[in-house]
DNA sequence: ACTTGCTTTGAAACGCGTTTCATACATTAT
DNA sequence: ATAATGTATGAAACGCGTTTCAAAGCAAGT
């Protein structure tokens, strides 16, 4: 394939003139501009974008680090990120790490190698020290609460969301409360664990470790939870479920085996998935799409203005009361 | 940041020697190899990957063209693609086009500009001519049936899947059959339309245009469909629904408004989503994850071997009989 | 008439890593 | 002893587009 020197030769001009024409810069005569476009046509020329990125010292690519995609949270966040990326003419490069620390470090290394201009971290296993170490390489946005740490972040206050839902259950009279969660590690999960401890102590109730159901990510996990619940001698009367998909699995399977929701077991989900509406699941709406939108806007703002002020943006949640709790 | 020439100077060797060391090539003395690594550490050196891609004339990136992510089909396909990409050390660059022809052409242009080594097309609006025009630029895999066209493809025979499901309904005695679908354009949708025409004629039944429900992508769309069905004077007794999410929406909303499934309306979904199992939806299992896996493997095989034989791979489907049909 | 600013154009450096080819020396085979 | 092959190393070209700086000419202002 033809390169810019071939093109210049064909048009009878210099490579600088060709570059001016291709990039729409001024100070080129009409005659020479025309000759260049004719040469482009004749040679079927396209720029090599690797050379452009090398010469300019930047790309129009933002990396996205996430464990996997096929989960409503991650696909909603990416949808939000993508909407803004399209708007500003950026591409997204996926780093699907499956919570593997080596892979997460590899993604950070790619930022350093200038494969992309910034990185959005949807969820991770690696310590914050790793992000701190790579901060100088380009903007990194974390989609989690980072406390006093000097990171760019956009987050949902899962602690407060959990507090709100737990207090609602306590107010309804529940004293035997458990919860379902995807993972126990990670700051979002630890915030929820802290809220659980705090609110139950506040209500004078001892939290029960066996009423915490881990590894709850998908619909099928909800099925497993209700079966475990049935098998318990002493059962919680309410469950907070950190995914509407899982809550739906619980509600649907409860219907099949005759467990009455909310009489025997009250369910509060999170996300406000369409399934929650159709199944009447009380849920805490989490703005995942907006989280993605904001994460991209933070990176874009940094890249456009060079403003390296690392701020944290909180997004609101909302308890939506339906029939399951 | 330091470049390879800085590094060479620091180590007291040539850039060729540095390159040999960094890439693990032979014919470098131990003494000089050591000096290079010490210089890497001292200067905190990382390669610029744009320069590597330019020099080598290839990347380790594959593009993925899709309309949006937040849909079970697309997120399952990407999961399959990602699994294989990780395995072979590739990154995925997303092109979320929302069926916009300009954006789809832009993605093809990026292949030509060598932004990535190949492109997987999950779904598209642009004509096959566009893909034919860009075929010389690198491997393009289409995730659809391409007939006699000379494209690399991996596909599910939606025509046969529809035929199988329709014949099953006819065998059960249904004569008033409709279907729900996401889009009417695109080869997958046209294959289903053809199957609908063919099987109903074969059964001596006139197909009804008003029993075809378009724009059915998500759960909420299922809710709308059942409400439209209720409002019909003459209603189909069975619906094929090309997404289990939509089928679930129909089944759940039918439950809420007192429509008996399958007595009043038989439902057959597609995908074999976990929701289908929990709701007892009869469904045709579609191997979307495997589709993604295979699509990536086809591209990878081409890139590794240079074998440009454009084959088409069909993946099987399976009717799973539950309670809704 | 002279000075300043704008326009036009191209040579060559810059961005940065890989690869090729030449040179010199050492080892092995004949 | 000589030829062939392997080892070690570096100069410079290659991959390809952007940008800078110099040179020349033209127009406008003083």
Q: Which domains does chain B have, with CATH numbers?
A: 4-47 (1.10.260.40), 58-156+288-315 (3.40.50.2300), 158-285 (3.40.50.2300)
Contacts of B172 (CB under 8 A, 6+ apart): B238, B266, B325
Identify which of B68, B79, B92 has the shortest CB distance to residue A70: B79
B310 has pLDDT over 90: no
Mean pLDDT of chain B: 94
Strand partners, B312: B153
Contacts of B45 (CB under 8 A, 6+ apart): B1, B2, B6, B7, B39
CA angle centred on A52, ends A51 and A57, rounded to 5°: 100
Residue B31: CB less than 7 A from any atom in strand D: yes
Residue A297 has a CB neighbour count (10 Å cut-off) of 18
Q: Find the mean pLDDT for residues A241-248.
A: 94
Our measurement of CA A305 to C1' D29, in angstroms, reads: 38
Q: Find the mean pLDDT for residues B72-76.
A: 91
Listed by number, the residues of chain B in 125-144 with a beta carbon closer than 8 Å to a beta carbon of chain A are none
Q: Predicted ipTM?
A: 0.90
Q: Which nucleotide is nearest to A54 (CA to C1')?
A: C15
**A206 to chain B, minimum CA–CA distance in Å?**
34
Output the pLDDT for position A184: 85
Report the share of chain A in percent with pLDDT over 90.
87
Listed by number, the residues of chain B in 141-160 with a beta carbon closer than 8 Å to a beta carbon of chain A are none
Cross-chain Cβ contact B91/A94 below 8 Å? yes
Q: Residues A228, A230, A234, A237: is their CA dihedral positive or negative?
A: positive
Give residue A228's Cα distance to chain centre: 30
Give residue B5's Cα distance to chain centre: 43
Output the pLDDT for position B309: 81
Our measurement of CA B20 to C1' C15, in angstroms, reads: 21
A54-57 LR contacts (CB < 8 Å, sep 24+): A54/B48, A54/B50, A54/B51, A54/B54, A57/A114
Based on C-alpha coordinates, what's the Rg of chain B? 26
Cross-chain Cβ contact B114/A49 below 8 Å? yes
Q: What would the pLDDT profile of B132-145 be if each residue is shown by its tens digit?
A: 999 999 999 999 99
Report the SS3 class of residue B11: helix
Output the pLDDT for position A140: 96
Among B81, B1, B33, which Cα is nearest to B288's? B81
Residue A29: CB less than 7 A from any atom in strand D: no
Cross-chain Cβ contact B46/A109 below 8 Å? yes
B278 has pLDDT over 80: yes
Find out whether B269 and B246 touch, Cβ atoms under 8 Å: yes
Tell me whether B59 touches chain A (CB under 8 Å).
yes
Omega into B152 within 30° of 0, i.e. cis?
Answer: no
- Taking the C-alpha atoms of residue A159 and residue A189, their distance in angstroms, rounded to an integer, is 9
Q: Find the mean pLDDT for residues A223-250.
A: 95
Our measurement of CA B27 to C1' D10, in angstroms, reads: 13
Contacts of A300 (CB under 8 A, 6+ apart): A84, A88, A90
Q: What would the pLDDT profile of A256-307 be if each residue is shown by its tens digit?
A: 999 999 999 999 999 999 899 999 999 999 999 999 999 999 999 999 988 7
Measured CA to CA in angstroms, residue A301 lies from A94, A109, A309, B224 at distances of 21, 22, 10, 40
Minimum-distance residue to D11 (CA–C1'): B14
A88's tokens: 């500003």
Cross-chain Cβ contact B114/A219 below 8 Å? no
Cross-chain Cβ contact A274/B249 below 8 Å? yes
Minimum-distance residue to C11 (CA–C1'): A14
Q: Find the mean pLDDT for residues A58-81.
A: 93
Output the pLDDT for position A128: 95
Report which DSSP code applies to B136: G
Output the pLDDT for position B72: 86
Q: What would the pLDDT profile of A16-30 be if each residue is shown by its tens digit?
A: 999 999 999 999 999
Cross-chain Cβ contact A274/B113 below 8 Å? no
């Amino acid at each position: 394939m033809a390169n810019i020197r071939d093109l210049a030769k064909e048009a009878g001009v210099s490579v600088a003139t060709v570059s001016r024409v291709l990039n729409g810069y001024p100070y080129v005569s009409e005659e020479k501009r025309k000759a260049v476009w004719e040469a482009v046509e004749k040679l079927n020329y396209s720029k090599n974008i690797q050379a452009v990125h090398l010469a300019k010292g930047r790309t129009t690519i933002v990396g996205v680090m996430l464990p996997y995609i096929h989960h409503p949270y991650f696909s909603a966040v990416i949808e939000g990120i993508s909407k803004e990326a399209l708007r500003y003419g950026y591409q997204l490069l996926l780093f699907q790490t499956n919570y593997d620390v080596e892979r997460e470090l590899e993604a950070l290394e790619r930022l350093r190698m200038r494969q992309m201009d910034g990185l959005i971290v949807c969820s991770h296993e690696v310590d914050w020290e790793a992000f701190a170490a790579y901060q100088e390489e380009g903007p990194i946005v974390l989609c989690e609460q980072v406390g006093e740490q000097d990171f760019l972040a956009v987050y949902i206050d899962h602690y407060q969301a959990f507090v709100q839902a737990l207090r609602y259950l306590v107010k309804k009279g529940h004293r035997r409360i458990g919860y379902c969660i995807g993972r126990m590690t990670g700051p979002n999960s630890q915030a929820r664990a802290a809220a659980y401890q705090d609110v139950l102590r506040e209500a004078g109730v001892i939290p029960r470790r066996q009423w915490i159901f881990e590894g709850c990510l998908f619909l099928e996990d909800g099925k497993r939870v209700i079966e475990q619940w049935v098998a318990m001698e002493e059962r919680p009367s309410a469950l907070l479920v950190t995914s509407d998909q899982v809550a739906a699995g619980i509600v649907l399977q409860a219907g099949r085996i005759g467990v009455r929701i909310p009489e025997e077991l009250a369910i509060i989900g999170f996300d406000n998935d369409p399934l929650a509406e159709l199944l009447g699941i009380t849920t805490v709406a989490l703005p995942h799409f907006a989280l993605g939108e904001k994460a991209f806007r933070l990176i874009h703002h940094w890249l456009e203005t060079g403003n390296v002020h690392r701020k944290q943006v909180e997004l609101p949640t909302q308890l939506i009361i339906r029939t399951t709790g």
